[in-house]
Amino acid sequence: MTQAPSPATADSAAALAAVRAEIARACRDAGRDVASVTLVAVSKTFPAEAIKPAIAAGQRVFGENRVQEAKAKWPPLMAKYQDLHPGIELHLIGPLQSNKAKEAVALFDAIHSVDRASLCEALGKEIAKQRRAPLLFAEINTGAEPQKAGVLPQDADAFLTACRETYGLTMSGLMCIPPLDEAPGPHFALTAKIAKRNGLKLLSMGMSADFATAISLGATHVRIGSAIFGGRT
């Protein structure tokens, strides 16, 4: 007997397909290969039940913003799906406290929020100890917003040099979150410019509302939550 999918199942799978189509369209418009953009499905606040349909629909890269939440939610999901749907990747997109570096290095395949020396030091130690090397993105506070994490644009070059030379980290890219009340394009362009002059290839930029713009400006990782899973309460 086949069971009709629940509305939630149908919704998130359909929303995921729509987002993928939008990503493909943005890539075509920008003359880019669709394989050059990784969709990070941001599942923060959503329970495992809401995530399963996305895994079943082929989504493999997921983003979480809190270590504790990810630690409770993902290992059981990964254990359950490693045979049927192998290759799930978990990305940390939210701020990371240095005292959680150990757990973060153990759990995540990428960390998008590297933003200060004390964290670099903690990550360097854990990466060496655990022999695990998650992809590392430095977060740039392009809008210089006081309430937001991230390195100021004018400090980015020195920070990236310290990441490499002082802490021995292999940095792969940059991440930014543009101010809510500004056009995102200039913030994405600034992030791309800083990455280019520092020889970094990956750009984590673009969320539900602005990922097409981000792709037009070179995003390699778009972090999309609400457009796939619905609104968060």
Ligand X SMILES: *Cc1c(COP(=O)(O)O)cnc(C)c1O
Residues that bind ligand X (CB under 6 A): 42, 44, 65, 93-94, 177, 207-209, 223-227
Give Cα separations from 99 to 96, 104, 120 (angstroms): 8, 10, 12
Determine the angle formed by the axes of helices 48-56 and 67-81, rounding to 10 degrees. Answer: 50
CB of 209 to ligand X, least distance (A): 6
User: Considering only CA atoms, which of 146, 74, 136 is closest in space to residue 101?
Assistant: 136
Sign of CA dihedral 195, 226, 106, 113: positive
CB of 221 to ligand X, least distance (A): 10
Q: Which residues contact 6 (CB under 8 A, 6 or more apart)?
A: none
Taking the least distance from each CB to ligand X, the nearer of 169 and 207 is: 207
Taking the least distance from each CB to ligand X, the nearer of 61 and 125 is: 61
State how beta strands 135-140 and 173-176 pair: parallel
Taking the least distance from each CB to ligand X, the nearer of 20 and 125 is: 20
CB of 17 to ligand X, least distance (A): 16
Taking the least distance from each CB to ligand X, the nearer of 156 and 221 is: 221
Taking the least distance from each CB to ligand X, the nearer of 190 and 227 is: 227
CB of 85 to ligand X, least distance (A): 22
DSSP assignment letter at 151? B
Contact between 222 and 216 (Cβ < 8 Å): no
Q: What is the number of the residue whose Cβ is closest to ligand X? A: 225
CB of 84 to ligand X, least distance (A): 27
CA dist 134 and 114 (Å) reads 12
